[in-house]
């Protein structure tokens, strides 16, 4: 056989050209991964270090991008268009992740897409967006991308349908091999582990795009091993009641989640010109207090609230997930519903929008009787948020309106992020020991603490003056986010680099329990938020459920549940939490076998938004300096009302909960009878509550 050297050389050149044409796709993928990591990490040095040291992780991130390039090309048939679509989307996600990581310590996660409205609302506080890394990275992206697309050996601009079909199949294969955990999993072959218990470390180690793909599986929870009806019934029947006999008295139980509440005076090297928490410190000397290990830092209030109200634990859910938005889509027994079954009026009060964290639906699913969000509160502001004193006033009014015992769960907002100077009209506490931005952040935060302390004093002063047994539990949900990358904590000397006590320093939140009727007892509290409900029920001598009885029993041996990677340090055997995990799965994701013997439903069929159901009793016309007005009298007419007259919404002047006035058009422009309603709208212009429809006839008007 004679080999034609010319043909051989031509064949080699042809294969080389084909390989060269495929090379841009791989280079594009690596380039996109590099830029995404730059945006996510926020620095060139860290990005270069990861790129050259995490080769398996880099390769799998590139395969993720390649898979999406194939997929979009299969759909559009245009490879360059696919590059710009994939790269722009990935870079935007990486940038959002970097910003979120700096501010809240948690990266952008798949379930964050369910929080778009909340993210938009808080976007005004994002600072430092156009920093050196973002600007230089954007310039590099545009310049080098054009070089990669148009200067390297070109591949076809468009593809026929057969090649598009092949690219689609290749895309699905690549993405499946990345996503799956089976024997053919590329993650398994590369010995890459999803560090779900620490999403910050997960993104830092495995890269943003790969971590995002691995986290998709957590949108749907896997059934725990051994979960079935029999295992739940066995656990159900094995617990003994924490309160065998109910106490004779039914005390009011008031739980206040004070936004970002933390005792900043414990920073040793920082001094405050006066104590921002004088009343709180006074109560610490006399009443039970301590700390809880929060699952959150800097944000995610709803997750702490979720633990406190239901007894469920975030430790069995993906870090960064938001159960209120993802999982609470059916009845879930809570402290609110447990006490409602015992004759309590259960009320939730929140100084923020009713739609935030899906709260108006969540509280209904938790069995509350009513929910009073900011749309029903007087606009008494301190800085950009409703003042804590207004929430205290609403708590007192709520309990005064009912004859029987109350359970009230209230959220505050006054000391919510941000803490840059200028948030409040004036900072009246000077901080020394630090300078610059840290000084400003701490002084602003201290000003907010004054509002929290004042609220606490208002509540205690009121309830110690009345003849109603009352328990008040006051706690912080998470530490405040004071600067990017914990800057204020580090610069003040409170937190060191690679601090071995990081978990306790940054996730321990204060808790205080006051009452006006029990014998004086000063206990030191050390627990997870998920054990608050059984703790309160036992303190108040109120019976709970099989679940709270189990949690009460478990908390005697394991009072604090840390992240899984700290189990060994805290001498916790994972097997001892298996029953807890199964019971929680049954409630949130399973068949709710544990609820099968419940005598009454959890959800309150008369659940409402507002202090009460709005009712118009009477309407009359009056003359005023501005013309005729309608005077509307009734019951539970909220401050932020509007009047709907024959379909036209008009502003209302609030006089009291029993009287409103609204402007009225001249008689010749009115069409009688008038159909009148009182409505309340949220910030999205959606009607969230309305009264009965009152018919106001021309005869009634002429009689006035």
Asked if pLDDT for residue 187 goes beyond 50, the answer is yes
Give SS3 for 525.
Answer: strand
Share of residues in the chain with pLDDT > 70 (%): 89
Going by pLDDT thresholds of 50, 70 and 90, the confidence category of residue 193 is: confident
Task: Compare 355 and 79 and report the one with higher pLDDT.
Answer: 355
Place 13 in a pLDDT band, splitting at 50, 70 and 90. very low
Radius of gyration of the chain (CA): 30
As a whole number, mean pLDDT of residues 30-58 equals: 89
Give the model's pLDDT for residue 124.
Answer: 45
Torsion of CA 611, 613, 618, 620, to 10 degrees: 60
Q: What is the mean pLDDT of the chain?
A: 88
Find the range with the poorest average confidence among 236-250, 319-333, 680-694: 319-333
302-327: average pLDDT: 91
Query: For residue 346, how many C-alpha atoms fall within 13 Å in the half-sphere facing its CB?
Result: 24
Q: Token pair of 703, please? A: 């009689």
Output 42 or 225, whichever has higher pLDDT.
225
Share of the chain above pLDDT 90, in %: 61
Distance of CA 490 to the CA centre of its chain: 25
What per-residue confidence (pLDDT) applies to 599? Answer: 72
Above 90 in pLDDT, residue 228? yes
User: How confident is the model at residue 326, as a pLDDT?
Assistant: 81
Of 193-197, 367-371, 642-646, the least confident: 193-197
Judge if pTM exceeds 0.75: yes
Give me the helix-helix angle, 208-215 and 161-179, nearest 10°: 80
204-219, pLDDT tens digit by residue? Answer: 999 999 998 888 877 7
Q: What is the mean pLDDT of residues 540-569?
A: 97
Residue 699: predicted pLDDT: 67
Residue 18 has pLDDT above 50, yes or no: no
| pLDDT value at 633 more than 60 | yes
Distance CA 623, CA 289 (A): 58
Higher pLDDT, 135 or 203: 203
How are the residues of the chain apportioned to helix, strand and coil, as percentages rounded to the nearest 5?
A: 50, 15, 35
Tell me what pLDDT residue 8 has: 37
- Low-confidence winner among 356-360, 569-573, 695-699 (lowest mean pLDDT): 695-699
Q: What is the pLDDT of residue 353?
A: 93
Return the pLDDT at 400.
Answer: 95
Q: Let me know if 85 is exposed, middle or buried by CB neighbors in 10 A (0-12, 13-18, 19+).
A: middle
Tens digits of per-residue pLDDT, 76-132? Answer: 888 878 888 988 899 888 888 888 777 767 788 787 765 554 455 445 444 445 566
pLDDT at 17 over 50: no
Q: How many CB atoms lie within 10 A of CB 670?
A: 16
- The more confident residue out of 54 and 381 is 381
**C-beta separation of 443 from 421 below 8 A:** yes
Tell me, what's the pLDDT at 301? 95
**Predicted pLDDT at 643:** 94
Residue 704 pLDDT class (50, 70, 90 cuts): low
- Asked if 20 contacts 153 with a C-beta cutoff of 8 angstroms, the reply is yes
Tokens 């320093």: give the residue: 505
- Does residue 17 or residue 300 have the better pLDDT? 300
Q: What confidence tier does 659 reach under pLDDT thresholds 50, 70, 90?
A: very high
Q: What are the beta bridge partners of residue 676? A: 645, 694
């Amino acid at each position: 056989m004679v080999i034609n050297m010319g043909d051989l050389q031509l064949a080699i050149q042809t294969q080389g050209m084909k390989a060269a044409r495929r090379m841009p796709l791989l280079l594009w993928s690596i380039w996109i991964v590099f830029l995404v990591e730059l945006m996510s990490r926020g620095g060139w040095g860290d990005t270069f270090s990861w790129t050259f040291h995490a080769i398996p992780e880099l390769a799998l991130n590139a395969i993720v991008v390649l898979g999406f390039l194939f997929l979009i090309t299969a759909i559009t048939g245009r490879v360059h268009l696919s590059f710009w679509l994939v790269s722009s989307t990935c870079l935007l996600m990486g940038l959002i992740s970097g910003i979120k990581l700096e501010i809240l310590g948690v990266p952008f996660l798949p379930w964050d897409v369910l929080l778009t409205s909340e993210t938009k609302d808080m976007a005004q506080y994002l600072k430092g967006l156009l920093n050196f890394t973002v600007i230089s990275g954007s310039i590099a992206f545009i310049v080098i991308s054009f070089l990669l697309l148009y200067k390297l050996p070109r591949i076809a601009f468009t593809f026929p349908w057969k090649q598009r079909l092949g690219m689609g199949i290749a895309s699905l294969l690549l993405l499946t091999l990345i996503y799956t955990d089976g024997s053919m999993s590329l993650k398994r072959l590369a010995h890459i582990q999803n560090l779900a218990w620490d999403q910050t470390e997960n993104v830092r180690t495995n890269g943003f795009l790969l971590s995002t793909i691995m986290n998709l599986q957590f949108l749907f929870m896997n059934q725990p091993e051994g979960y079935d009806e029999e295992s739940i019934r066995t656990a159900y029947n094995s617990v003994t009641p924490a309160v065998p006999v109910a106490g004779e008295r039914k005390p009011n139980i008031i739980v206040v989640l004070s936004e970002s509440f933390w005792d900043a005076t414990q920073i040793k090297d920082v001094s405050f010109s006066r104590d921002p928490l004088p009343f709180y410190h006074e109560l610490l000397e006399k009443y039970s207090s301590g700390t809880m290990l929060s699952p959150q830092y800097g944000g995610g209030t709803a997750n702490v609230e979720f633990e406190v109200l239901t007894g469920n634990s975030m430790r069995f859910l993906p870090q960064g997930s938001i159960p209120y938005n993802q999982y609470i889509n059916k009845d879930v027994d809570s402290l609110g519903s447990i006490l409602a079954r015992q004759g309590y009026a259960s009320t939730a009060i929140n100084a923020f929008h009713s739609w935030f964290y899906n709260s108006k639906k969540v509280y209904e699913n938790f069995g509350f009787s009513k929910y009073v969000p900011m749309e029903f509160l007087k606009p008494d502001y301190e800085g950009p948020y409703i003042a804590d004193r207004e929430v205290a006033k609403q708590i007192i009014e709520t309990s005064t309106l009912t004859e029987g015992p109350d359970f009230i769960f209230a959220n505050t907002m006054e000391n919510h992020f941000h803490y840059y100077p200028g948030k409040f009209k004036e900072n009246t506490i000077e901080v020394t020991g630090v300078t610059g931005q840290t000084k400003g952040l701490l002084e602003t935060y201290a000003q907010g603490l004054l509002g929290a302390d004042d609220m606490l004093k208002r509540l205690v002063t009121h309830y110690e003056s009345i003849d109603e047994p009352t328990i008040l539990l006051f706690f912080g949900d998470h530490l405040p986010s004071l600067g990017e990358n914990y800057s204020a904590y580090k610069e003040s000397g409170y937190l060191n680099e690679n601090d071995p006590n990081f978990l306790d320093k940054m996730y321990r939140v204060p808790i205080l329990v006051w009452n006006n009727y029990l014998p004086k007892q000063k206990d030191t509290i050390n627990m997870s938020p998920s054990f608050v409900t059984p703790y309160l029920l036992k303190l108040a001598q109120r019976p709970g459920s099989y679940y709270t009885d189990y949690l009460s029993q478990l908390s005697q041996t394991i009072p604090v549940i840390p992240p899984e990677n700290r189990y060994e340090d805290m001498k916790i055997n994972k097997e001892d939490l298996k029953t807890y995990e199964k019971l929680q799965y049954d409630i949130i994701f399973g068949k709710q076998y544990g609820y099968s013997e419940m005598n009454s439903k959890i959800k309150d069929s008369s659940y409402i938004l507002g202090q009460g159901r709005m009712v118009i009793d009477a309407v009359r016309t009056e003359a005023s300096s501005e013309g005729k007005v309608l005077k509307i009298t009734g019951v539970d007419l909220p401050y932020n009302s509007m009047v709907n007259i024959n379909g036209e919404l008009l502003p209302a002047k609030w006089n009291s909960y029993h009287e409103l006035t609204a402007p009225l058009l001249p008689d010749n422009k009115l069409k009688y009878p008038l159909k009148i309603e009182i409505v309340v709208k949220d910030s999205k212009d959606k009607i969230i509550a309305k009264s009965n429809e009152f018919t106001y006839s021309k005869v009634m008007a002429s009689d006035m």
